[in-house]
Structure 1
Amino acid sequence: MPTFDKKDLSDFLGKHLVFTYDNGWNYELYIKNAKKVDFRVHSGIIGNRWVKNQDVYIARIAKKICKLSWTEPTGTNVSIIINLENMLYQGTIFFPRWIINDPEKASRIQDDRIPLMEFYREIGPTYPIEILDEFAAITFVQDCSQDDESVIECSADELPADFLENLKKSL
């Protein structure tokens, strides 16, 4: 029997995190509320991609561990585990082949381009799926209020060059 309330997501909601995958990619995630996340990709195959109000499923796994899962309009599926006790993140991303073949199509803001993302997804190719399964170090955690639209409000290329470094220093 767990020693925590599985339905209590309060330790995670409103969290703003930055993490660096073992492969060097930098991502930023804001758990906006129990049903939405915003995220920004600073580097990697889809660098400069940012998303607002992505539908998400959140499950509390332990006192300081949760799992987030979602499917994007691109056809990309994401499942991540956030371990706040050990500042560790584990993510599995299932990229459809069209993103691997032409990642620039998935860069920039998704929200204004959802019909285009759906079009790319439909014309594909979808297979073979590229699975990236990586660990990451959580390098920044900030408690924000829920539903704060200012946490992630622009693309990575609109930020100062030292943005991530300054966030990490503020810990």
Structure 2
Amino acid sequence: MTSAALSVNIWSIPTTTAGTTRFTSKNGHTLDYRIHSGIVGNRWVKDQEAYIVRVGESIYKISWTEPTGTDVSLIVNLGDKLFHGTIFFPRWIMNNPEKTICFQNDHIPLMNSYRDAGPAYPTEVIDEFATITFIRDCGADNDEVINCPASELPADFPANL
């Protein structure tokens, strides 16, 4: 269909394996996200380039490759508050996930070096459905939505929103 920014900018996605993640689609080609729990909990990223397309009424497909070598493919169905995500982790992340737990933007050359050193295979595929529990329109290009790691959030988050 068409390339477009999501009409809403933030959602919370609790999953069973990968953990809880908060995303904001900043515009039609970038997103910010913060991982709250799971093997790479407390990792956060700003201005990740992504392919964001509307594939149906309130349904979006979001895909990207990270500097770590991780590939991500998401389907976000805002109407039904349903999320499906597939993450393709290179083996080096499964072996040492703690290496990625940081504000990635400050460590891109390091992430690239870890990726290049590998190992890449066998790839670990995480494929999950989740229910979207929180949706809020925060406006385009809002850098305040995700501006710290999960460990620095108020104790009552997200109830304080």
TM bracket (short chain): over 0.9
- Give matches, 1:108-123, under 5 Å: 108-123=102-117
Shift of 1:161: 2.9
Equivalent runs, 1:76-115 vs 2, <5 Å? 76-115=70-109
Compare CA radii of gyration and give the structure with the larger one. 1
Report % sequence identity.
50
Whether the 8 Å contact between 1:14 and 1:147 is mirrored in structure 2 is no
Q: Which residue of 2 aligns with 1:39?
A: 33
> SS state of the match for residue 67, structure 1?
strand
Root-mean-square deviation (CA), in Å?
1.5
4+ residue segments displaced more than 3 Å = none
Kept in 1, the 8 Å contact 2:85–2:129? The answer is yes
Aligned-partner Cα distance in 2 for 1:33–1:155:
21
Q: In the alignment, is the contact (CA less than 8 A) between 1:13 and 1:32 conserved in 2?
A: no
Q: Please state whether the residue corresponding to 1:108 is helix, strand or coil.
A: coil
In the aligned structure 2, how far is the partner of 1:71 from the partner of 1:24?
A: 17
* Residues 1:9 and 2:4 aligned together: yes
Deviation of the 1:115 alpha carbon? 0.2
* 1:117 alignment partner, SS class: helix
* Alignment: residue pair count: 161
Q: Distance in 2 between matches of 1:120 and 1:24?
A: 21
**Equivalent-residue separation in structure 1 for 2:72 and 2:113 (angstroms):** 20
Residues in 1 aligned to 2:80 and 2:107: alpha-carbon distance in whole angstroms: 36
